[in-house]
Amino acid sequence: MANEAVVDDTGRSIAMVEGLQGVVADWSSDQRAFKRVPWGKAMMWIFLLSDTFIFACFLTSYMMVRISTTVPWPNPSEVFALTLFGHHIPLILIAIMTFILISSSGTMAMAVKFGYERNRKMTTILLIVTAMFGASFVGMQAFEWTKLIEEGVRPWGNPMGAAQFGACFFMITGFHGTHVTIGVIFLLIVARKVWKGHLDDMKPGFFTSRRGGYEVVEIMGLYWHFVDLVWVFIFALFYLW
Amino acid sequence: MSEAQVEAQQHPIAIYFWVWGLLFVLSTMSYMVDYLQFQGLLRWSLIIIFMFLKAGFIVAVFMHLYYERLALACALLIPIGALLVLIGLMSFEAGNTNMTRDIYLDGGSGILVMEEGTIH
């Protein structure tokens, strides 16, 4: 891979250096720093980095209130337990939601692959399946919210323990659910673009008026995988801890 | 080689199925931590290990970061270090708040008790 020639925007070829020297060479080049990535993908990555900081602030605040409260924290294993077919199963809904989101990440990754292979039918189907997984996730979250609100959980207090539990729960899962909802909407928009062949023709999108090829599917995928990634942290730190 | 070909992420579909399966296994294992009611240090370390393994596989393979240039990976991963500082400082601060609440809030002794080797 070392010294593989890549042509820059003006048609000059630039040597690609690997390793740490490559970092210095890429960052100090007078063309773009992020090589082998379309501009939209680099921008999505930078947006996701900023989003990481937002979710990290929520989770850090949650850590702070949970450490500092002198009242026992409600046991998530019990709070999120469900009775299914006569069995009392701890945390079962959250486990199902986790598997659904992971599956949606799997179908999304394959949609990206089929997109680059110009397989419009498979890409569209997989994008719609991903969107359906996402929509069912949001549906289960709505069910979970309803259940907790009925049990008296509020942002300012709850019958199970530390008052901060509700504020953390609604803020963190609410913000994540909003991300999933936005993702579902954009998955359907991208699925339609793929199905209509807009990415083959590099037709400008209605939202940004930018021309995009099949890297658009991968950029969509980056966002979707990030939503799954955030859930991994919420699942571990909020529901399991 | 055209630019579009250079920038497309082409990988065999098998790797996605492998990672998908692996994420299922890891999620099941982290759910079992709760189901079997592991407690204490064992619980926390298992949760953290499974969490980072899952996150790593998603970022590396699904998001293709493993296949990208090191310059991009550095731009994304190094700033995360700032979060570790934040988490460290805030856990220290939260411990302090907890201590003052224990001492001065309703029912507290009002006296700072220093036990041998530990501060509560």
Q: Are residues B60 and B98 in the same domain?
A: no
Query: Using one digit for the tens of pLDDT, what is the confidence trace for A170-201?
Result: 999 999 999 999 999 999 999 999 999 888 88
Q: pLDDT grade, residue A2 (50/70/90)?
A: very low
| Whether pLDDT at A1 is above 50 | no
CATH of domain A37-240: 1.20.120.80
β strands within chain A, DSSP E: 4-7, 13-16, 82-84, 87-89
Question: Helix, strand, or coil here: A43?
Answer: helix
B74 and B100, same domain (yes or no): no
Task: Please report residues of A whose CB lies closer than 8 A to that of B36.
Answer: none
pLDDT of residue A50 exceeding 90: yes
Token digits for B42?
Answer: 């064992």
What per-residue confidence (pLDDT) applies to B2?
45
Closest partner CB to A90 (pick from B27, B34, B69):
B34
Tell me what pLDDT residue A212 has. 80
Please tell me whether residue A31 adopts helix, strand or coil conformation.
coil
Find chain B residues with C-beta within 8 A of A46's C-beta: 75
CA atoms lying within 13 Å on the CB side of residue A187? 32
- Round to whole Å and give the CA distance between A27 and A43: 16
At residue B114, the 3 state secondary structure works out as strand
Sign of torsion over alpha carbons A122, B58, A230, A209: negative
* Sole residue written with tokens 């982290």: B30
Q: What is the DSSP string of B49-69?
A: HHHHHHHHHIIIIIT-GGGS-
Q: Determine the Cα–Cα distance for residues A51 and A235; give it in Å rounded to an integer.
A: 18
User: What contacts A69, CB < 8 A, 6 or more positions away?
Assistant: A162, A163, A164, B98, B101
> Span A32-39, mean pLDDT?
84
User: What HEC string does A147-195 produce?
Assistant: HHHHCCCECCECCCCCCHHHHHHHHHHHHHHHHHHHHHHHHHHHHHHHH
* Selected residue with higher pLDDT from A72 and B3: A72
- Which pLDDT does position A173 carry in this prediction? 96
Task: Count Cα neighbours of A61 within 13 Å in the Cβ-side half-sphere.
Answer: 12
Q: Where are the domains of chain A?
A: 1-36, 37-240
Same domain, residue pair B74 and B87: no
Mean pLDDT, consecutive 10-residue stretches, chain B (120 aa), reads 58 92 94 89 94 95 92 92 94 93 78 59
* Residue tagged 């979060």 (tokens): B83
**Band of pLDDT at residue A39, cut at 50, 70 and 90:** confident
Side chain identity at A91, as an amino acid letter? L
What local confidence, expressed as pLDDT, does residue A240 receive?
Answer: 92
Residues B88 and B68 in one domain: no
Identity of residue A153: V
B6 contacts on A by Cβ (under 8 Å): 6, 36
Please name the residue that has the structure tokens 């008026």: A209
Could you tell me if B27 and A95 are in contact, meaning their C-beta atoms sit under 8 angstroms apart? yes
Q: Is the pLDDT of residue A227 over 50?
A: yes
Torsion sign, CA atoms B11, B13, B19, B22: negative
Provide mean pLDDT across the span A19-25.
Answer: 87
Is 70 exceeded by the pLDDT of residue A8? no
Residue B12 carries which DSSP code?
A: -
Contact A123, A217 (CB under 8 A): yes
Look at residue A12 in the predicted model and tell me its pLDDT: 67
pLDDT in tens, A86-104: 788 888 899 999 999 999 9
- pLDDT reading at A137 higher than 80: yes
Q: What proportion of chain A, given as a percentage, has pLDDT over 70?
A: 93
Most B-contacting residue of A12, A47, A113, A122 (CB-CB within 10 A), to test interface: A113
Query: What pLDDT, on a 0 to 100 scale, did the predictor assign at position B1?
Result: 38
The reply to whether residue B8 touches residue A36, judged by beta carbons under 8 angstroms, is no
- Rounded to whole angstroms, the Cα distance separating A111 from A130 reads 9
pLDDT for B113 equals 60
CA B93 to chain centre: 20
Domain count within chain B: 2
Q: Does B65 lie in the same domain as B107?
A: no
Work out the average pLDDT over A46-72: 95
- Do B71 and A23 form a contact (C-beta atoms < 8 A)? yes
The 10 Å Cβ neighbour count of residue B78 is 9
Q: What percent of chain A has pLDDT over 90?
A: 66
Q: Which value, to the nearest 10 degrees, does the dihedral of the CA atoms of residues B40, B42, B48, B51 take?
A: -120
Residue A63 parent element (H or E): helix A39-68
What does each C-alpha distance from A237 to A72, A84, A201, B48, B97 come to in angstroms? 17, 25, 45, 8, 21
Evaluate if residue A17 carries a pLDDT over 90: no
Q: Which residues of A touch B76 (CB under 8 A)?
A: 45, 48-49
Please answer yes or no on whether A99 and B24 come within 8 Å at the CB atom: yes
Q: Which residue has the higher pLDDT, A77 or A10?
A: A77
Per-window interface: A 24-43 vs B, CB < 8 A: 26-27, 33-38, 41-42
Assign A162 a pLDDT band (cuts: 50, 70, 90). very high
Question: Which structural domain, as residue segments, surrounds residue B7?
Answer: 1-78
Q: In Å, how far are A77, A173, A231, B22, B23 from A236, measured between CA atoms? A: 12, 13, 8, 17, 14
pTM for the full predicted model: 0.88
Q: Are B93 and B111 in contact (CB under 8 A)?
A: no
* Exposure of A31 in the CB half-sphere (CA atoms within 13 A): 18
